[in-house]
């Protein structure tokens, strides 16, 4: 592909704004912005979630990227004009199965708190203490565990898609190499970003808990921990928010893989039209 490095480098940098706009309009940004406003953040200095999310895209090392683009341009073409086979339909099916599995994982509920003590005989153990769930520390390991699993599976899925593209025509092989470079360069910034999400979740937890207590006080009612998980309960609302945060993060993190698949589909359509 003559001029790939120059053309792709230009498209990459000029294309950051459209990508940034899609990032700004993602469910993750909308959710965190909603939580920030609901939490009573001062309007004089609001948290610019969108800028935090797009920060790594605007600080790419241009020198390293330029060298990588130059190396990508030198990739050999197909011998004798033959293009290796790439089953785009099968690749899209793999992606769909992986996305469904990741969605189920992000939607899983935390395990109920264990009883205060276990008994080896057949006598009843003490009932779980619902008060344990009133502490964010109870929920944090569940969230971090799911986030870690998502991270590992998403990395594997992205690598799998790149490997499939590496068996395709030159344009897709070049794209696969470029994506690997971009993933490596963006990884430290992305990890710093994902590491900020538990803080947002903890503030949301505190907000829901405080709103619950204020509502009870206004109504002159006593608190009943057994109702926290029932419909309308503050803990049930928090669990929905935890799932929503993981699903929104998943949506953003799937975008690079979706982009690779779109490129493969477009390349396949061009081949069919030739």
Structure confidence by residue, pLDDT tens digits, 142-175:
999 999 999 999 999 999 999 999 888 888 888 8
Residue closest to 253 by CA, chosen among 163, 187, 162, 176: 187
Cα angle at 16 between 151 and 29, to 5 degrees? 55
Domain contains 84: yes
C-alpha pair distances (Å), 147 with each of 18, 135, 140, 245, 255: 27, 20, 10, 10, 17
Domain contains 117: no
Domain contains 119: no
Angle between the 170-219 and 62-73 helix axes, to the nearest 10 degrees? 140
Tell me how many helices (H) and strands (E) the chain has. Answer: 10, 0
Angle between the 234-253 and 170-219 helix axes, to the nearest 10 degrees? 170
Domain extent at residue 74: 4-40+50-108+130-273
Cα angle at 101 between 99 and 103, to 5 degrees? 70
Can you give the pLDDT at residue 71? 61
| Cβ–Cβ under 8 Å, residues 261 and 90 | no
Q: What is the number of other CB atoms lying within 10 angstroms of the CB of residue 97?
A: 11
Can you give the pLDDT at residue 37? 86
Residue 3, judged by CB atoms within 10 A of its CB (0-12, 13-18, 19+), counts as exposed
Domain contains 215: yes
Domain contains 134: yes
pTM: 0.77
The residue behind tokens 């870690």 is: 148
Alpha-carbon distance 85 to 271, whole Å? 11
Domain contains 123: no
Q: Model confidence over 236-247: pLDDT tens digits?
A: 999 999 999 999
Q: Return the higher-pLDDT residue of 90 and 124.
A: 90
Residue 14 banded pLDDT, cuts 50, 70, 90: very low
Question: How is residue 225 annotated by DSSP?
Answer: G
Domain contains 118: no
Domain contains 113: no
What is the number of structural domains in the chain? 1
Longest dimension (CA), the chain: 83
Average pLDDT along the chain? 77
Residues in Cβ contact with 104 at an 8 Å cutoff, skipping those fewer than 6 apart: none
C-alpha pair distances (Å), 251 with each of 24, 57, 98, 146, 232: 13, 17, 13, 15, 27
């Amino acid at each position: 592909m003559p001029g790939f490095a120059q053309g792709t480098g230009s498209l990459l940098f000029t294309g950051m704004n459209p990508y940034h706009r899609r990032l700004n309009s993602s469910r993750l940004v909308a959710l965190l912005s909603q939580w920030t406003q609901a939490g009573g953040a001062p309007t004089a200095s609001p948290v610019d979630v969108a800028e935090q999310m797009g920060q790594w895209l605007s600080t790419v090392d241009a020198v390293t990227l330029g060298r990588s683009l130059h190396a990508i341009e030198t990739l050999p073409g197909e011998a004798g004009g033959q293009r290796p086979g790439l089953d785009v339909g099968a690749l899209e099916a793999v992606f769909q199965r992986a996305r469904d599995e990741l969605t189920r994982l992000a939607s899983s509920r935390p395990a109920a708190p264990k009883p205060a003590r276990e008994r080896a005989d057949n006598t009843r153990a003490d009932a779980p203490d619902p008060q344990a769930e009133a502490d964010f520390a109870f929920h944090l390991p569940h969230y971090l565990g799911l986030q870690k699993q998502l991270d590992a599976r998403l990395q594997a899925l992205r690598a799998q898609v790149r490997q499939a593209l590496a068996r395709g025509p030159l344009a897709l092989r070049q794209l696969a190499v470029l994506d690997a470079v971009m993933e490596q360069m963006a990884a430290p910034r992305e990890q710093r970003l994902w590491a900020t999400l538990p803080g947002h979740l903890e503030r949301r937890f505190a907000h829901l808990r405080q709103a619950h207590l204020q509502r009870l006080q206004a109504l002159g009612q006593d608190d009943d921990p057994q109702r926290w998980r029932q419909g309308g309960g503050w803990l049930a609302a928090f669990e929905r928010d935890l799932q929503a945060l993981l699903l929104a993060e998943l949506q953003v993190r799937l975008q690079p893989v979706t982009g690779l698949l779109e490129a493969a589909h477009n390349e396949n359509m061009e081949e069919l039209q030739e």
